Amino acid sequence: MAGVAVACGGLSACGAAAGDTGGRNGGATASASPTKKGPGGLGGRLFDGIWTFFEFNLTVDGKEVHLPDATRPWVEFRDDGTIAGDYGCTPFRMKADLTATTLTLGEDLPPLPPPSATPAPTDETTVCPKPPSREKDDAGRELTDSEAQVRKFFHRGPLRLTEKKLQQEVGGPPPRTLPQLRNEHGDVATLTVVRSPSIFDTAFRLRQWMVGDSSDTVKSTKDTSFTFHRDGTVTGKLGCNDFTAEAVFNGSDVFFRAARLTTHRTCAAQNMQDERSILRILQRSLVYRYSGDSGGIYMMEQVDDYRATGLGFTRATDQ
- Residue 17: closest CA among 34, 37, 40, 35: 34
State the pLDDT at residue 130.
58
Strands 296-301 and 309-315: antiparallel
CA contacts within 13 A on the Cβ side of 158: 9
Kindly report the pTM of this predicted structure.
Answer: 0.83
Per-residue burial over 92-112, b = 16 or more CB atoms within 10 Å of its CB, e = otherwise: bbbebebbeebbebeeeeebb
On whether the CB atoms of residues 68 and 188 are closer than 8 A, the answer is: no
Cα–Cα distance measured from residue 235 to residue 281, given in angstroms and rounded to the nearest whole number: 15
Helices (H) and strands (E) in the chain, counts: 5, 19
- Paired with 246 in beta bridges are 233, 257
Q: What is the DSSP letter of 12?
A: S
Tell me, what's the pLDDT at 91?
93
Tens of pLDDT along the chain (319 residues) come to 333 433 343 333 343 333 334 444 433 444 445 667 789 899 999 999 999 999 999 999 999 999 887 778 999 999 999 999 999 889 999 999 999 999 999 999 999 887 766 665 544 444 565 554 444 466 667 888 999 999 999 999 999 999 999 988 888 788 889 999 999 999 999 999 999 999 999 999 999 999 888 889 999 999 999 999 999 999 999 999 999 999 999 888 999 999 999 999 999 999 999 999 999 999 988 889 999 999 999 999 877 777 888 999 999 987 6
The pLDDT of residue 169 is 83
Dihedral Cα 275, 280, 282, 288, nearest 10 deg = -120
64 contacts 10 by C-beta, under 8 angstroms? no
What is the reported pLDDT for 213?
A: 81
